[in-house]
Structure 1
Amino acid sequence: MTISALPDGPFRGRPLVALLAIVALMLAAANLRGGLVVVGPLVEPIRAALDISASAFSLLTTLPLICFGVVSICVPWLTRCWAPQRLAIAGLLTISLGVALRLVDHYPLVILGTLVLGMAIAVLNVLIPGLVKDFFPRQVGIMTGFYSVTLSLGAGLGVYLAVPLMEQFGNWRYPVALWALLPLFCLLFWLPMLRVRGVGRPSNPVRVSLWRDKIAWAITCYMGLQSFYFYSMATWLPKILLESGLDAHQAGTATALINLVSIPFNLFVPILAARLRSQQWLVLGIFAASFAGVAGLWWQAAAAPMLWASLIGMGCGGSLSLALSFFVLRADNTAQATALSAMAQSIGYLLAALGPVALGVLRDLSGAWQWALGLMLVLQLMQLGFGWFSARPVNVVPDQDK
């Protein structure tokens, strides 16, 4: 069915505007990680330019996660004051400002830019699932899949292009500056969206509270545990493999497989989720891949590192896209989807910020990775339980509706 034929969508008879909306959403998604991760491959030249320690540099990657957790919860209030499209445009402009501040040679201003960048991304993280439901109420599966894939591709491009662009232009600021300019290009597609009114947006926005809803809490815990899992594995998998006897090239290749393998699962899991009344078997399949990957690392990391990394990538891609799907599938309207997204991402990213620290502490205390990986296996079982409960065909019920 074409977008123009949808009887309950905002683009009926306007396929070109629908195409603009798709491009606008995807371009926004592409900007949600690139400006953050681009600094990773540039650690040494940035540290030299700013004259900072490794721990000071680590704030450039950990502070945004804290911003995600703190700011996300405020987004539903913002949507009651301003239209989501206006907030999206303001978010893109703020991302550009935040990245630009990270180009200077003054460390306090770089930290300020990191905070600004993290807050802007937090707003868009919460807004986009609601806008997907708002703009494409009958195509939430495929649109969530596209969004999830574009999110991963944006992160991948940020890392992949960093060193080649630095070598091409002779300065680390060029690859970083790219992510200050791209949000401005996105505005060409977002400005026409100011005239679009989605079908799921109430005429008089009201406060939606889900803090006493069991489904909302289950989705929140599922989102938090999958974030904990992904950021822990992304941080420590290279170290785990190096300590198991692999060389740097093998460890790097295995780690890269996590993002590569996750891409098809980013796309197809939301499409399947939208077609199923219950997503419990999807939850079980994703758990099986994740659990097997971590169990393989716990048993003997060097035995089949590419297989373990591929299984972890399947689990990371599938669990993230399924969590994003829950935001729209378990909500009756855009306001509920935004509130659920805010609740789940605020707590989820705070948990994510704790993940690498917790595993690192366990490694230091025990002298090996078995205790840390054992914790991950236990948390995977907990994630299965929360996911199984979330996957039932039951929508959230706000406090005022109970």
Structure 2
Amino acid sequence: MEEQRRAFARPPGRGARLATGLVLFALVMVSVNLRPAITTVAGVMGKIPGVFTLDPALLPLLGTLPVLAFGVSGPIGPWLARRIGTGRAVALALLVLAAALVIRATVPALLLPGTFLAGMAIMTASVLVPQIVKANRGTGWWTGLCTMGFGLGAALGAGLVQPLQQAFGGNLAWALAVWAVPALFGAVLIQRTGGSSTAALTVPGDVTSAAGDAATAGRDAASSVVVPTPLGTPLRKQRTAWAVTAFFGLQAMLYFAITSWLAVYLVSRGVSSADAAALLAWFSLAGLPASLLAPVLASRPAILRWMAPGLGLSVALALVGVLTAPAELQFLAVGILGVVQSAGFGLGMALVVIRSAGPQSAGRLSAMSQGFGFALASLGPLLAGLLHTLTGGWEATFWALAAEAMVLAGAGFFAIRGPVVRVEEARVVAGSKPADTEALA
């Protein structure tokens, strides 16, 4: 047994390091494709009714449909991965995403169904990203680069939609459909590299060895002692799983409420439509460094203790800042909001990895936190729009979002305490293929 452990602990060769790098690059490319379907529409929301003959009253539904799809399609990713492998499951999801992007843009009657299908495809791929990170014993930098990919994709989608429309001779449909091209590229890339797992093999009696570098982040924040959940405990009965789910859902609810209505709010403050779309892109761009660094910092228990609750308070203050800042200071206010909001998303993704005991635990926790979390998040755009309609202004909406951010701080406090989330991990003997490696093939 000890010889097996030493053999698995040997430093990887150059070929293994190259394979690991390619897997990481593929994951980042996948992440970049998981937001433009949403932010491209948000950036031109006011033009949608005229181009696609959509009733303006259905615009809130258009903004909510992807998030609703997220909420109902969470289990699809792990289910599909068990049957065809994780890499193939992600590739298939990106192929469906590409098809949905083309269909909804070229067939006006299918704008809403196509948007829902795109959301399902995004969710299927998204929940499997932490599982691949965990299977490859990825550090906080892995999670950070993936979350930065989400932010980069969101920024590119919002910032390029109008220039692309001009490049296509004013054709908005093609400016939306062109995002199918990078989705196809991501599908090919993850299909070719998704089978390369460098995670140490699990040996009998050591079901948590796949936790790797994240083991220290699974320590109890108060005692610094690893406290695993007993095997056989259903995920729904693990309080840490629910705390992580609440944190992820609340930050996602804030994100989608902000991205759906920020441009509309800025226009109401006297900002031009083009500048409002640019500020929406700036919201995502400003947060890129934070989305990269948040998972790295979260891997340090001393920082994690105050980071999770502190981010909730920071988001609340930033929302008040956007509400009260004059138009000429919105660039600064929106940038600050983008930084703290993106840090919250990065931490939400990191918690899935560092608060789970192994790859399969991470996959199950990812499906739960993103499935239930996005179901909660789907209420964000609807409630924000409803409050605006009922009050005729934006003050109630922003104060309600700030109050939600305070609840987010509480969820973060509980998410970093208690036992790590643990489900039955596959056991293999030396020389055989581990389940997670097999799933990636």
Give, in whole Å, the separation in 2 of the partners of 1:253 and 1:319: 22
Give, in whole Å, the separation in 2 of the partners of 1:220 and 1:319: 13
Q: Does the 8 A contact of 2:42 with 2:259 survive in 1?
A: no
Give, in whole Å, the separation in 1 of the partners of 2:11 and 2:370: 27
Question: Which amino acid in structure 2 is aligned with residue 83 of structure 1?
Answer: G
Per-residue CA deviations over 1:176-195 (Å, capped at 9, x if unaligned) read 33221222222442233354
Per-residue CA deviations over 1:140-175 (Å, capped at 9, x if unaligned) read 200111111111111211222222222122222332
Give, in whole Å, the separation in 2 of the partners of 1:111 and 1:239: 20
Per-residue CA deviations over 1:72-105 (Å, capped at 9, x if unaligned) read 1333333332311110111121111111212323
Give, in whole Å, the separation in 1 of the partners of 2:326 and 2:393: 14
**For residues 72-111 of structure 1, what are the structure 2 equivalents within 5 Å?**
72-107=74-109, 109-111=110-112
Q: Does the 8 A contact of 1:34 with 1:159 survive in 2?
A: yes
Q: Does the 8 A contact of 1:293 with 1:307 survive in 2?
A: no
Q: 1:308 offset after TM fit, Å?
A: 3.2
For 1:392, what is the secondary structure of its paired residue? coil
Alignment partner of 1:305 is 2:305: no
Q: Alignment partner for residue 330 of structure 1, among 328, 347, 355?
A: 355
Task: Pick closer, same or farther for the CA change 1:94–1:336 going to 2, 3 Å.
Answer: same
Give, in whole Å, the separation in 2 of the partners of 1:345 and 1:335: 15
Q: 1:34 offset after TM fit, Å?
A: 1.6
Equivalent residue number for residue 264 of structure 1: 289
Q: Does the 8 A contact of 2:155 with 2:284 survive in 1?
A: yes
Moved more, 382-391 or 283-292: 283-292
Q: Does the 8 A contact of 1:34 with 1:154 survive in 2?
A: yes
Moved more, 47-56 or 213-222: 47-56
Moved more, 355-364 or 220-229: 355-364
TM-score, length-scaled by structure 1: 0.86
Give, in whole Å, the separation in 2 of the partners of 1:220 and 1:226: 10
Q: 1:24 offset after TM fit, Å?
A: 1.0
Q: 1:343 offset after TM fit, Å?
A: 0.8
Equivalent residue number for residue 408 of structure 2: 383
Equivalent residue number for residue 131 of structure 2: 130
Equivalent residue number for residue 346 of structure 2: 321
Equivalent residue number for residue 27 of structure 1: 29
Question: Which amino acid in structure 2 is aligned with residue 51 of structure 1?
Answer: T
Q: Does the 8 A contact of 2:90 with 2:125 survive in 1?
A: yes
Equivalent residue number for residue 172 of structure 1: 172
Question: Which amino acid in structure 2 is aligned with residue 346 of structure 1?
Answer: G
Q: Does the 8 A contact of 1:201 with 1:333 survive in 2?
A: no
Per-residue CA deviations over 1:295-354 (Å, capped at 9, x if unaligned) read 3355x3438534432332222011000000001001111111111111111122122221
- Uncovered stretches (5+) of structure 2, i.e. residues with no partner: 1-7, 208-230, 426-441
For 2:356, what is the secondary structure of its paired residue? coil
Task: Pick closer, same or farther for the CA change 1:208–1:258 going to 2, 3 Å.
Answer: farther
Q: 1:274 offset after TM fit, Å?
A: 1.7
Equivalent residue number for residue 379 of structure 2: 354
- Uncovered stretches (5+) of structure 1, i.e. residues with no partner: 1-5
Give, in whole Å, the separation in 2 of the partners of 1:215 and 1:144: 20
Equivalent residue number for residue 121 of structure 1: 122
Per-residue CA deviations over 1:341-385 (Å, capped at 9, x if unaligned) read 111111221222211221232233334433333322322221111
Q: Does the 8 A contact of 2:299 with 2:354 survive in 1?
A: yes
For 2:421, what is the secondary structure of its paired residue? coil
Give, in whole Å, the separation in 2 of the partners of 1:249 and 1:49: 17
TM-score, length-scaled by structure 2: 0.79
Q: Does the 8 A contact of 1:245 with 1:302 survive in 2?
A: no
Question: Which amino acid in structure 2 is aligned with residue 363 of structure 1?
Answer: H
Moved more, 326-335 or 272-281: 272-281
Question: Which amino acid in structure 2 is aligned with residue 181 of structure 1?
Answer: V
Task: Pick closer, same or farther for the CA change 1:195–1:291 going to 2, 3 Å.
Answer: closer
Give, in whole Å, the separation in 2 of the partners of 1:83 and 1:146: 23
RMSD between aligned residues: 3.2
Q: Alignment partner for residue 65 of structure 1, among 67, 80, 87?
A: 67
Alignment partner of 1:273 is 2:275: no
Equivalent residue number for residue 142 of structure 2: 143
For 2:341, what is the secondary structure of its paired residue? helix
Moved more, 76-85 or 362-371: 362-371
Per-residue CA deviations over 1:250-283 (Å, capped at 9, x if unaligned) read 7556544422221110011111112335612212
For 1:39, what is the secondary structure of its paired residue? helix
Task: Pick closer, same or farther for the CA change 1:112–1:358 going to 2, 3 Å.
Answer: closer
Q: 1:134 offset after TM fit, Å?
A: 1.1
Give, in whole Å, the separation in 1 of the partners of 2:241 and 2:97: 29
Task: Pick closer, same or farther for the CA change 1:226–1:123 going to 2, 3 Å.
Answer: same
Give, in whole Å, the separation in 1 of the partners of 2:111 and 2:266: 32
Moved more, 7-16 or 388-397: 7-16
Moved more, 8-17 or 124-133: 8-17
Alignment partner of 1:342 is 2:367: yes
Equivalent residue number for residue 286 of structure 1: 311
Q: 1:221 offset after TM fit, Å?
A: 0.6
Give, in whole Å, the separation in 1 of the partners of 2:322 and 2:168: 40
